Amino acid sequence: MLKLKDISVTFNEGTPDEKKALNNIQLELQEGEFVTVIGSNGAGKSTLMNVISGALIPDVGDVYIAESQVVHLPEYKRSKYIGRVFQDPMAGTAPSMTIEENLAMAYSRNRKRKLKLGVTKERKQMFKDNLATLNLGLEGRLNAKVGLLSGGERQALSLLMSTFTEPNILLLDEHTAALDPSRAELITQLTEKIVRESGLTTLMVTHNMQQALDLGTRLVMMDKGQIIFDVNGEEKQKLTVEDLLHEFKRIRGEQFGDDRAVLS
Amino acid sequence: MFISMFGAVESGIIYAIMALGVYLTFRVLDFPDLTVEGSFVTGASVAAYSIVSGVPPLMATIFAAIAGFIAGCLTGVLHTKGKINSLLAGILMMTALYSINLRIMGQPTLSLLNETTVFEQLEALWASTGIDSLFNGLLSSIGLEQLPGTWSILLVMIIVTIGIKLLTDFFLKTEVGLALRAIGDNKKMIRSLSANTDSLIIAGVGISNAFVALAGGLIAQLGGFADVNMGLGLIVIGLASIIIGEALFGTKTIVRATLAVILGAVIYRIIVTLALRVDFLETGDMKLITAIIVIIALVTPKILQSRREKNRRIQKRNQLRAGGKSNA
């Protein structure tokens, strides 16, 4: 469904600040696969996300979505195929517009926008049904401005907005990292439920090793712009945080340099 | 007094179209567009030149709006494709339009005194309806002596402006309109929802300036001339209308916000008319008055709010002191 071939990205090339953010990345996701990506700060996780979403064009390499080459498509064209949830709960919704208007905009993601009403009666019912699956009572607040919602509610809405049109690929960019633990837990559960029910091909970046182990069917560990560890199926189900740390040390010969990943 | 008020409302309702245009950029797109000062004159000069050249006045008015649309789109292109800061893109376009407007008219001022304008055509049609005598009869029966020459401009312009408002309201609720509003709210998000933000900004600024130029074309016909300097300070007038309207009538929904902008434009005209009746003020003081109105409209709500907060705190403190208990 998603294929990254020979992707390399270098920032500030030719200066003392030169940084190889991605170094010859190869990654292929089968349809319905749920991959969690883990790595310390600066491992290249966010860069990888930006290359897939089109916010960043790689120096070399190809990106294929559903067999078609998309590396030259600008972000707004590529987002027809991609649903994305950002780390910042404020980033995924328009605060001064209502819940139903936000959903209507998301509904137009893979359709051509026309001069027709965005919120119609039928759509309202569909929005309500979808919101009800979140179990947050948002279905009764269709006309509330999104800016009035809490961070957790906004993130749940973002998650719904990026999934209910069934994109080819769902990108989750540390989407629980900015929430308090109980809200983060709620969003994690919702993510698990939505992905399981819709069978979306998903790539989730996280700082949290436990979360990376609990969710998904496959785990990828990144370091210094490279994929250093890739495990799926039963092998992944058996992994523990200790195993991951041990694995990192074995491959890199040094300690995993990020307390946050271990502690949270 | 009544006649000057009547004139204020009459021109206010036309300026309201301009204010709606400014609302689209400043509030909806969050794009502080100064093209307005030039495109208003472009509308006026295109309409005036067309009429002088023998184009039917209604057609000339439509030409004015089209010219404004093109000017606005160019500002949008400068900003999105040329990556020029929005404020600077507008200033550049405004400056360029000054010369273009002079070229269009061929002279700094173009008079329409001997020409038939869209309003004169309207009056001629109107005369047979007998509405004027009905209204004026009512007014003279309550003792007014000076009566307006025609009600046609006021009544028809109210219908036209409300029509434009309703179209705008509808547009902002369409799929395209929602995406346009999201640009002013959260650009990153709407891009991730597959909207082409560049095209939307270009179209949005274009529509805004079409409104402004339409107002310019109508004001030129109402006043009987187009002048290359008639757009001076217009952006502040537009902002004044929006801010006054929002402060008095609120912004809860789009429908309400656009109505507030229209009423704000009319109220602004009335305030200026009243201010100019004060003995020591001259016509040249208009801009100063406008700036002061905007400052007052911006500052007063904040002062009122901090006053309310302060009173609330004092009240709470007194409550505590008096009873030793409070529900705080």
Question: Would you call A94 and B189 a contact, using CB atoms and an 8 Å cutoff?
Answer: yes
Q: Which residues of A touch B171 (CB under 8 A)?
A: 115
B283 in a domain, yes or no? Answer: no
Query: Could you tell me the end-to-end alpha-carbon distance of chain B, in angstroms, rounded to an integer?
Result: 53
Decide if A154 is inside a domain.
yes
B30 assigned to some structural domain: yes
Domain range for A231 = 1-76+177-264
Determine, for residues A113 and B175 on separate chains, whether the beta-carbon distance falls below 8 Å: yes
Looking at the structure, do residues A87 and A63 belong to the same domain, yes or no?
A: no
pLDDT at A161: 95
Question: A72 and A90, same structural domain?
Answer: no
Q: Does A108 touch chain B (CB under 8 A)?
A: yes
- Does residue B305 sit within a domain? yes
Flag whether A172 is in a domain.
no
Interface of B with A in 134-173 (CB under 8 A): 170-171, 173
Tell whether B159 and B30 lie within a shared domain: yes
Per DSSP bridges, beta strands A201-206 and A34-38 are parallel
pLDDT at A153: 94
User: In chain B, positions 196-235, which contact chain A (CB-CB < 8 Å)?
Assistant: 196-197
Q: Is B132 found in the same domain as B21?
A: yes
Same domain, yes or no: A70 and A188: yes
- Distance, CA of B157 to chain centre: 14
Same domain membership, residue A263 and residue A203? yes
Quick one: A252 and A130 in the same domain? no
B219 and B314 co-located in one domain: no
Query: Are the CB atoms for A222 and A191 separated by under 8 Å?
Result: no
B249 with B223, same domain: the answer is: yes
Note the pLDDT tens digit of each residue in B7-16: 999 999 999 9
On whether both A53 and A129 belong to a single domain, the answer is no
User: Of A166, A189, A217, which closes a domain?
Assistant: A166
What is the pLDDT averaged over residues A163-172? 93
Say yes or no: B155 and B90 in one domain.
yes
What is the rounded average pLDDT for all residues in chain B? 92
Query: How many domains, chain A?
Result: 2
Q: Are residues B164 and B301 both part of a single domain? A: no
Quote the pLDDT of residue A261: 58
Local confidence band at B325 (pLDDT 50, 70, 90 cut-offs): low
For residue B34, tell me if it sits in a domain.
Answer: yes
Q: Are residues A56 and A13 in the same domain?
A: yes
Do B241 and B297 reside in the same domain of the chain?
no
3-class SS letters over B4-64: HHHHHHHHHHHHHHHHHHHHHHHHHHCCCCCCHHHHHHHHHHHHHHHHHCCCCHHHHHHHH
Please count the structural domains in chain B: 2
Asked, for residue B282, whether it belongs to a domain, the answer is no
CATH classification of the domain holding A101: 3.40.50.300
pLDDT tens-digit series, residues B57-110: 999 999 999 999 999 999 999 999 999 999 999 999 999 999 999 999 999 999
- Whether residue B301 sits in one domain with residue B208: no
Strand order in the sheet with A226-232: A82-85, A169-173, A201-206, A34-38, A218-223, A226-232
Q: Is A84 near chain B, with CB under 8 Å?
A: yes
In a domain, B191, yes or no: yes
- Residues B109, B72 share a domain: yes
Instruction: Measure in Å the smallest separation between the Cα of B174 and chain A Cα atoms.
Output: 4
Give Cα A141 distance to the centre of its chain.
26
**Half-sphere exposure of residue A114, counting CA atoms within 13 Å on the CB side?**
5
CB proximity list for B263: less than 8 A, separation 6 or greater: B245, B248, B249
The pTM of the full predicted model, rounded to 2 decimals, is: 0.90
Q: Does some domain include residue A171? A: no
Q: Is A79 on the interface with B (CB under 8 A)?
A: yes
A157 and A182, same domain (yes or no): no
Hey, are the CB atoms on A94 and B186 less than 8 Å from each other? yes
Both B160 and B245 in one domain: the answer is yes
Q: Which of A146, A166, A186 represents a domain boundary (last residue)?
A: A166
Same domain, B195 and B327: no
A206-232 per-position pLDDT tens digit: 988 888 988 999 999 998 899 988 998
Q: Cβ of A59: how many Cβ atoms within 10 Å? A: 14
Query: Model confidence at A262, in pLDDT bands (50, 70, 90)?
Result: low
Of A80, A97, A117, which is closest to B182 when you measure between CB atoms?
A97
* Amino acid in position A215: L
Q: Which domain holds residue B66?
A: 2-277
Q: Is the pLDDT of residue B49 over 80?
A: yes
Q: Based on the fold, state whether residues B143 and B221 are members of the same structural domain.
A: yes
Residue A13, in any domain of the structure: yes
CATH number at residue B100: 1.10.3470
Terminal alpha carbon distance of chain A: 31
